[in-house]
Amino acid sequence: MASIRELHQQLVSKARSATEITTAALETVNKLEPQLKSFLTITPEQALAQAKQVDAKIAAGEDISLLAGIPIGIKDNLCTKGIRTTCGSQILNNFLPPYESTVTTKLAAAGAVMVGKTNLDEFAMGSSTENSAYQVTANPWDTTRVPGGSSGGSAAAVAADECVVALGSDTGGSIRQPASFCGVVGLKPTYGLVSRFGLVAYASSLDQIGPFGRTVEDAAILLQAVAGYDPQDSTSLDVKIPDYTKSLIPDLKGKRVGVIKETFGEGLDQVVAEAVETAIQQLKELGAEIQEISCPRFRYGLPTYYVIAPSEASANLARYDGVKYGYRAEDAESLMSMYTQTRAQGFGAEVKRRIMIGTYALSSGYYDAYYLKAQKVRTLIKQDFEAAFESVDLLVSPTSPTTSFKAGEKTSDPISMYLSDLMTIPVNLAGLPGLSLPCGFDAQGLPIGLQIIGNVLREDQVLQTAYAYEQATDWHQQSPKVCA
């Protein structure tokens, strides 16, 4: 599928209508969904209605935004008024939100065309999209493998041209890791840059919404549309939003790039290490000054995250009790048995595991030993990044220690599954922007991702570096087998 800018030109020049573009996207969805299972809900009627509105504007000679008429996928933990929103969970099987999330409101106002809601690990808890209560999404590069998680449906849909761009959410790597596995661009913005109003909460101090695209420019255009202050989100940052596309220049002269020493070594696949090292060399050739940087507490990110995130999940998921909305267990004899049966039947194994970890960490007598200590380590991790940014503008690392693994390979070993977010989690703990973009393939033809990390609110620098690298290479022009 063409890029946002190319499609915009086709629309403005009347070479194609929004209805034609949307129909083509829906045909691709219908053709590939039996194999890929990227979408939990497909919305053809709404998509075609939105496309017709764009066509009417063009016919009337009105100006349209860059996103008008562009097919987009929305992760199914973003509330869409009157359209089923499940979070990949049985407990929200038939939930129809009574309100719209801020980001989807903004996209609708821009004229974007929603083709459907994408699959995810239940409540965004997972790294493979195998924890969905409904279906396992396949990786378009090899349908026996996972697309990553938790935003696996969004990443797979963009990689397979089922939509041009998509929104995901990232709590510990849930945009960047699937972007790496699916060979697309995925960006987690600075915490608070994009409103979380209408995003179903997993871990409120870590969650952030961000874009997927086939190119860096597409991701930048989508970020532009959803970023900005929202009084309905108490953590939203009231800052001026720059024009991110203006920072897309293919030159890195004078950019100081730090390579995080701790992300190379034990546990990193050799093929991933070699691809990332070659990419770093490419950045040097584009004018960047490369230096090694140590973030000594980086490796404590994983254990810190798996205390803080489940603790917040334990509190956030207490609302799913079968009383006001969502699934309710039948035949309960008392209020307490209704609560316990509803939660036992409605939640999957991974969600239950994290609720129990979090409830234990917050319980009397353990709060100081676990939760409080984890928050202190989080501060130390943040301080490591702050020290690093005193001597460099950006940091780079592999996005994931491995390429995509086989479906079912890690489902019985939660710890090895958690390790696939080793490189991405510290970025969430520090609230920084991070982007993954393709930087090579392994011997099986599976994509490898390069992670670029910026300082707070320096999405412009992250996008510039990613764009310069992308323009000097052709990884983003490769297409998965499923599209051939």
- Beta-strand ranges (E) seen in 99-154 are 113-118
Tokens coding 169: 């959410």
From the list 75, 106, 117, 188, the catalytic residue is: 75
Is 107:72 a contact under the CB 8 Å cutoff? yes
Burial annotation 145-157 (CB, 10 A radius, 16+ → b, else e): bbbbbbbbbbbbb
From the list 3, 89, 101, 150, the catalytic residue is: 150
Q: How far is CA 226 from CA 57, 263, 310, 430, 437, in A?
A: 22, 31, 27, 21, 20
- Sequence-distant (6+) residues with CB within 8 A of 88 are 40, 76, 77, 119, 120, 121, 122, 123, 124, 131, 132, 133, 134, 150
Judged on CB neighbours under 10 Å (0-12, 13-18, 19+), 56 is: exposed
From the list 3, 127, 128, 174, the catalytic residue is: 174
Angle 63-68-70 from CA coordinates, rounded to 5°:
150
* Helix 216-226 with 459-472: angle, nearest 10 deg: 160
150 is catalytic: yes
State the first-to-last Cα distance of the chain, in angstroms, to the nearest integer.
12
The Cα 40–Cα 85 span in angstroms is: 9
Q: Which of 155, 151, 171 is nearest to 163 (CA)?
A: 155
3-state secondary structure of 318: helix
Bridge-based pairing state of the strands 256-260 and 394-398: parallel
Tokens coding 438: 């393709």
CB atoms within 10 A of CB 323: 12
169 is catalytic: no
Tokens coding 20: 């034609």
253 is catalytic: no
Catalytic residues: 75, 150, 174
